């Protein structure tokens, strides 16, 4: 990256774990990016961010409205608010002149996502969506193989995301994404808009035109509760000691997912073991039995799509797996590619009838991060810095325009699952709305 530029100045909007992760790029590369402000309704969170980045008092805001009444104070904003707040908080930022790095999903409904797109176009703002997997070395190298024609024209793609049992229980059964009215997004859009985006990126020369989807909530509801289970793990459950979803096991003994479970964890507050146990026994929602929560989202879903050229794709989302992983299998006219992100390699196979075998196989090794985003987070931020500067070398891979395609597939898939019917996407009608 060109070292002659002054750092791009950004304001954090919604100081949650994801936006703070993106913002931490500034700590590693202060010559490239500098955090100059924060917007968050939580005064403790604001104070914590202000201390971490040395912010002046006048650069700390409780809401976006307080920010945008001021003259433009930075080059860009990193928006990591909750899903249902993404568009409402982004529109005034774009209108004020800020470029935007926006956490996925873009929004919670097709119409509001298209409104954001039109606003960005009208004001000439640059918007990147945090589809970090496009920047993960695993998928970058896989895309390179596809573009080189290694397996010919794509005929079919199959991807899968397995959400492991402790993540499922924490985020999507007990947690803030479990109830769509509260969290804003469906299970598919919260967890797999990444994967739908990858599919449309792999087949970027043509658009998806038909979508069908099936699935639902089959496991995490009261009719599945085992005999002896209670309302809370640590108060009235006779099987807690042997239950894989035990709140004590997951959140105290190991402990997993502290950012979700302990409300002031991001503010630097650390509870003793006794305090954590007491919390789970009383009003902490993460102490509830997973079969007796207010969750209403699906726990498994299959999405099928057809592209303009007749090629097809299937994405499977499975909640409650033993092992978390993302897999991909792409079959072309000349061969196939198969891989699993977390394993750090994929294989390229071609038909090869010979003595001792019927296909050849080449293994492509990828140095991969174990952060479930394959090392893509800070690579995305690095590219965002280039985009804001107008650097011709910027990939701008996850522009709002590019990200729209996978999002519309997701919204249509959820509608299909709800109605039991397939749906078509008329792109000329969509983009003219």
Q: Are 334 and 350 in contact (CB under 8 A)?
A: yes
- Given a cut of 70, is residue 3 above it in pLDDT? no
Looking at residue 368, its pLDDT comes to: 66
- Given a cut of 60, is residue 374 above it in pLDDT? no
Average pLDDT over residues 291-304: 97
- Given a cut of 80, is residue 2 above it in pLDDT? no
Mind listing the pLDDT tens digit for each residue in 264-286? 888 788 999 999 999 999 999 99
Q: Are 381 and 25 in contact (CB under 8 A)?
A: yes
Mind listing the pLDDT tens digit for each residue in 189-213? 999 999 999 999 999 999 999 999 9
- Given a cut of 80, is residue 114 above it in pLDDT? yes
Looking at residue 372, its pLDDT comes to: 46
Neighbouring residues of 185: CB distance < 8 A, sequence distance ≥ 6: 83, 84, 105, 108, 177
Task: Name the percent of the chain lying above pLDDT 90.
Answer: 88
Domain-wise residue ranges, the chain: 8-125, 134-220+295-431, 222-287
Q: CA-to-CA distance for 141 and 147, rounded, in angstroms?
A: 10
Looking at residue 4, its pLDDT comes to: 61
Confidence of residue 362 (pLDDT cuts 50, 70, 90): very high
Mind listing the pLDDT tens digit for each residue in 57-100? 999 999 999 999 999 999 999 999 999 999 999 999 999 999 99
Average pLDDT over residues 213-218: 96
Task: Name the percent of the chain lying above pLDDT 70.
Answer: 97
Question: pTM for the whole thing?
Answer: 0.93
Confidence of residue 370 (pLDDT cuts 50, 70, 90): low
CATH of 134-220+295-431, one of 3.30.360.10, 3.90.1200.10, 3.40.50.300, 1.20.1640.10: 3.30.360.10
Please give the CATH topology (third level) of the domain spanning 8-125. Answer: Rossmann fold (3.40.50)
């Amino acid at each position: 990256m060109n070292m002659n530029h002054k750092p791009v100045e950004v304001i954090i909007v919604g100081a949650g774990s994801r936006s703070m992760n993106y913002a931490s790029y500034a700590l590693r590369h202060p010559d490239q990016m500098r955090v100059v402000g924060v917007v968050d309704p939580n005064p403790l969170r604001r104070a914590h961010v202000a201390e971490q980045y040395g912010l002046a008092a006048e650069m700390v805001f409780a809401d976006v409205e307080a920010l945008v009444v001021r003259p433009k104070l930075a080059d860009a904003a990193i928006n990591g608010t909750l899903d249902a707040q993404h568009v409402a908080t982004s529109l005034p930022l774009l209108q004020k002149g800020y470029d935007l790095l926006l956490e996925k999903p873009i929004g919670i409904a097709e119409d509001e996502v298209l409104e954001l797109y039109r606003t960005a176009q009208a004001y000439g703002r640059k918007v990147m969506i945090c589809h970090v997997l496009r920047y993960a070395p695993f998928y970058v190298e896989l895309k390179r193989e596809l573009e080189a024609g290694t397996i010919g024209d794509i005929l079919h793609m199959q991807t899968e995301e397995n959400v492991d049992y402790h993540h499922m229980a924490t985020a999507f059964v007990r947690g803030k994404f479990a109830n769509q009215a509260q969290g804003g997004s469906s299970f598919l859009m919260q967890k797999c808009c990444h994967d739908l985006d990858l599919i449309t990126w792999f087949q970027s020369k043509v658009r998806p035109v038909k979508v069908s989807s099936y699935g639902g909530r089959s496991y995490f509801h009261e009719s599945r509760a085992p005999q002896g289970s209670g309302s809370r793990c640590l108060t009235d459950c006779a099987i807690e000691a042997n239950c894989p979803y035990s709140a004590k096991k997951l959140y105290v003994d190991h402990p997993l997912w502290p950012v979700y479970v302990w409300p002031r964890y991001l503010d630097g507050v650390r509870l003793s073991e006794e305090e954590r146990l007491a919390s789970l026994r009383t009003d902490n929602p993460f102490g509830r039995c997973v079969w007796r929560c207010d969750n209403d989202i699906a726990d498994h879903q299959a999405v099928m799509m057809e592209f303009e050229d007749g090629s097809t794709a299937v994405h499977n989302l499975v909640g409650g797996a033993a092992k978390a992983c993302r897999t991909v299998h792409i079959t072309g006219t000349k061969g196939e590619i198969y891989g699993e992100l977390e394993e750090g390699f994929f294989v390229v196979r071609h038909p090869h009838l010979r003595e001792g075998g019927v296909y050849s196989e080449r293994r492509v090794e990828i140095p991969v991060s174990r952060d479930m985003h394959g090392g893509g987070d800070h690579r995305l931020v690095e590219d965002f810095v280039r985009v804001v500067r107008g650097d011709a070398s910027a990939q701008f891979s996850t522009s709002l325009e590019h990200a729209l395609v996978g999002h519309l597939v997701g919204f249509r898939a959820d509608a299909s699952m709800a109605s039991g019917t397939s749906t078509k996407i008329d792109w000329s009608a969509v983009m003219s709305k």
